[in-house]
């Protein structure tokens, strides 16, 4: 029988996606550059459904029913282009090529335009959830044409994660919108992880608590507003004992965080759009600082701390303060990420429904969390909400924790414990809610040295002061 969908690229992700499709009853054409991976998939999992293996790309394409639907799941970058170039001459008008790898969205826009010119649909889709998600239900963020989604959407929704029966997959928007949203998802993931790491550090240093004790705190937190995959795995990791040394596992892991680049892309794009995504940026830079070995070596034992010891008199109150500060900082990071989505959506005419994005992130992906329901509800109340933080639910939820947040950030500063994401999120909160910012002084300085002009609070127009002359003001 002709296969309903094909997967080329059968490393961990492609293999599991193909199995997921087969388990849902689809006849799946499978192909990989080196045939051994195709053979092993069929040998190991052939009983899970119907696979149609092909050794050549030609046979693979020929085994597909029309309109052909080909999922490309190979290494991002050059390899993706190579595979697309091989496929395109074999395809016919109306066929759909789906790039489910971690492409950078400008590449997706370029590929989509090139395939559209040939009468083909190109769907760049974000897939989150790692190997586990690919097999059992990922969060799926497809871009491309709406027309292609009509054919492809039902299949993707079928194999996606479900929360309360709702699929964690929806049409995101044209061309690169899907990969863009996946990129911001990853940026938010960086922020979430950094905030959790800072909370752990504060509990460790503030309470002198062991990893196992902190694991219990996270386990308790996971029963409330903070309930999420990342909090859950944090408790698991902190409970782990190293077999070799008998120490807490977290204490034997080298403290230099690595990254594959999606956080960096998100920050670069935030700068391009002029959207202050400070939580994501601090998280990305915190990883960079951890890996700055020569600088850290030069600084350790050299830079004076002049810090004072933590003074925690009420253990439970301190834990609750850290929890509230974590929640508030997390809301800031998400609020900023959704601002970035709104800005890119406006710039590219993507018309992205932010509430729907929060909905499809509730399951399958790394940032899945109970709290995403609150975000969906906020955008249901107002689809054009200018600031997530200003939604009535979040003003309450964050407002309740502001004093705790201030105590935590100031105690951390006095004790010399670095909390870049906690502190910059609080600075953003105070900045965005300030009635008047010292940006007035920046504007005056710019006019002074560069005649860059300024606007006034009391009348319309642009003005320049003759700083080097008689210092009178002229309309500019």
Question: Which residues contact ligand NDP (rule: CB under 6 A)?
Answer: 9-14, 32-34, 37, 73-76, 79, 82-83, 101-102, 127, 130-131
Q: Is 75 annotated as a binding residue?
A: yes
117 secondary structure, DSSP code = T
User: Minimum distance from CB of 242 to ligand NDP (Å)?
Assistant: 25
For residue 444, what are the contacts with CB-CB under 8 A and spacing of at least 6? Answer: 454
User: Minimum distance from CB of 16 to ligand NDP (Å)?
Assistant: 8
142 secondary structure, DSSP code = E
Strand partners, 455: 462
Write out the H or E segment, with its range, that includes residue 27: strand 27-31
3-class secondary structure, 8: strand
| Residue indicated by tokens 């996946």 | 182
User: Minimum distance from CB of 409 to ligand NDP (Å)?
Assistant: 34
| Residue indicated by tokens 């002074």 | 448
Q: Is 187 annotated as a binding residue?
A: no
Q: Is 190 annotated as a binding residue?
A: yes
Question: Pick from 12, 313, 343: which is nearest to 184 by CA?
Answer: 343
How far is CA 89 from each of CA 29, 58, 66, 85, 118, rounded to the nearest angstrom? 18, 10, 15, 7, 10
Q: How far apart are CA 217 and CA 404, in angstroms?
A: 17
Q: Of 139 and 424, which CB lies nearer to ligand NDP in the complex structure?
A: 139
316 is catalytic: no
Q: Is 345 annotated as a binding residue?
A: no
Catalytic residue among 112, 157, 189, 198: 189
Q: Is 121 annotated as a binding residue?
A: no
Q: Of 10 and 312, which CB lies nearer to ligand NDP in the complex structure?
A: 10
Catalytic residue among 69, 182, 204, 330: 182
Q: Is 31 annotated as a binding residue?
A: no
Q: Is 471 exposed, middle or buried (0-12, 13-18, 19+ CB in 10 A)?
A: exposed
User: Minimum distance from CB of 218 to ligand NDP (Å)?
Assistant: 23
Q: Of 11 and 427, which CB lies nearer to ligand NDP in the complex structure?
A: 11
Q: How far apart are CA 106 and CA 369, in angstroms?
A: 29
Q: Is the peptide bond before 67 cis (omega within 30 degrees of 0)?
A: yes
- By Cβ distance, which residue is nearest to ligand NDP? 101
Q: Of 107 and 447, which CB lies nearer to ligand NDP in the complex structure?
A: 107
User: Minimum distance from CB of 8 to ligand NDP (Å)?
Assistant: 8
User: Minimum distance from CB of 367 to ligand NDP (Å)?
Assistant: 13
162 is catalytic: no
User: Minimum distance from CB of 173 to ligand NDP (Å)?
Assistant: 19
How far is CA 367 from each of CA 68, 195, 227, 340, 357, rounded to the nearest angstrom? 32, 13, 11, 17, 12
Cβ atoms of 126 and 185 closer than 8 Å: yes
3-class secondary structure, 77: coil
Q: Of 11 and 439, which CB lies nearer to ligand NDP in the complex structure?
A: 11
Cβ atoms of 90 and 29 closer than 8 Å: no
Q: Is 398 annotated as a binding residue?
A: no
Q: Of 84 and 202, which CB lies nearer to ligand NDP in the complex structure?
A: 84
Q: Of 79 and 291, which CB lies nearer to ligand NDP in the complex structure?
A: 79
| Residue indicated by tokens 């959407």 | 153
65 secondary structure, DSSP code = P
Q: Is 185 annotated as a binding residue?
A: yes
139 secondary structure, DSSP code = E
Residue set of the binding site for substrate = 102, 128-130, 185-186, 190, 260, 287, 446, 452
List residues with catalytic annotation: 182, 189
Residue set of the binding site for NADP(+) = 9-14, 32-34, 74-76, 102
Residue set of the binding site = 9-14, 32-34, 74-76, 102, 128-130, 185-186, 190, 260, 287, 446, 452
């Amino acid at each position: 029988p002709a296969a309903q969908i094909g997967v080329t690229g059968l490393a961990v992700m492609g293999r599991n996606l193909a199995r997921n499709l087969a388990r849902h009853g689809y006849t799946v054409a499978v192909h990989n550059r080196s045939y051994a991976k195709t053979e092993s998939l069929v040998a190991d999992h052939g009983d899970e459904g119907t696979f149609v293996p092909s050794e050549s790309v030609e046979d693979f394409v020929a085994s597909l029913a029309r309109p052909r639907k080909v999922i490309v799941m190979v290494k991002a970058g050059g390899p993706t282009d190579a595979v697309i170039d091989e496929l395109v001459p074999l395809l016919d008008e109306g066929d759909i090529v789906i790039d489910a790898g971690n492409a950078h969205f400008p590449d997706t826009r370029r590929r989509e335009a090139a395939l559209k010119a040939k009468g083909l649909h190109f769907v760049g889709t974000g897939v989150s959830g790692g190997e586990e998600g690919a097999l059992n239900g990922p969060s799926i963020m497809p871009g491309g044409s709406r027309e292609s989604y009509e054919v492809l959407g039902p299949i993707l929704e079928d194999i996606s994660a479900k929360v309360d029966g709702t699929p964690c997959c929806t049409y995101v928007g044209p061309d690169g919108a899907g990969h863009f949203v996946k990129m911001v998802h990853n940026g938010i993931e960086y922020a979430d992880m950094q905030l959790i790491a800072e909370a752990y550090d504060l509990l460790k240093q503030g309470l002198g608590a062991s990893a196992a004790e902190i694991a219990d705190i996270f386990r308790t937190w996971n029963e409330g507003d903070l309930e999420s995959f990342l909090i859950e795995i944090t408790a698991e990791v902190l409970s782990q004992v190293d077999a070799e040394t008998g120490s807490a596992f977290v204490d034997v892991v080298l403290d230099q965080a690595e990254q594959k680049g999606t956080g960096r892309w998100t920050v670069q794009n935030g700068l391009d759009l002029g959207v202050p995504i400070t939580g994501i940026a601090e998280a990305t830079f915190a990883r960079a600082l951890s890996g700055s070995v020569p600088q850290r070596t030069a600084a350790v034992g050299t830079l004076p701390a002049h810090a004072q010891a933590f003074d925690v008199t009420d253990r439970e109150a301190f834990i609750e303060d850290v929890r509230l500060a974590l929640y508030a900082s997390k809301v800031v990071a998400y609020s900023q990420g959704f601002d970035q989505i709104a800005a890119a959506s406006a710039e590219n005419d993507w018309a992205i429904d932010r509430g729907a994005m929060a909905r499809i992130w509730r399951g399958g992906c790394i940032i899945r969390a109970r709290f995403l329901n609150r975000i969906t509800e906020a955008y249901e109340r107002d689809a054009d909400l200018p600031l997530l933080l200003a939604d009535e639910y979040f003003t309450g939820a964050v407002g309740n924790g502001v004093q705790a947040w201030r105590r935590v950030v100031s105690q951390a500063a006095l004790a010399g414990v670095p909390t870049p994401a906690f502190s910059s999120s609080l600075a953003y909160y105070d900045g965005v809610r300030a009635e008047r910012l010292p940006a007035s002084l920046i504007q005056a300085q710019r006019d002074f040295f560069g005649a860059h002009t300024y606007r006034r609070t009391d009348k319309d127009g642009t003005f320049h002061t003759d700083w080097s002359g008689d210092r009178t003001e002229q309309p500019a």
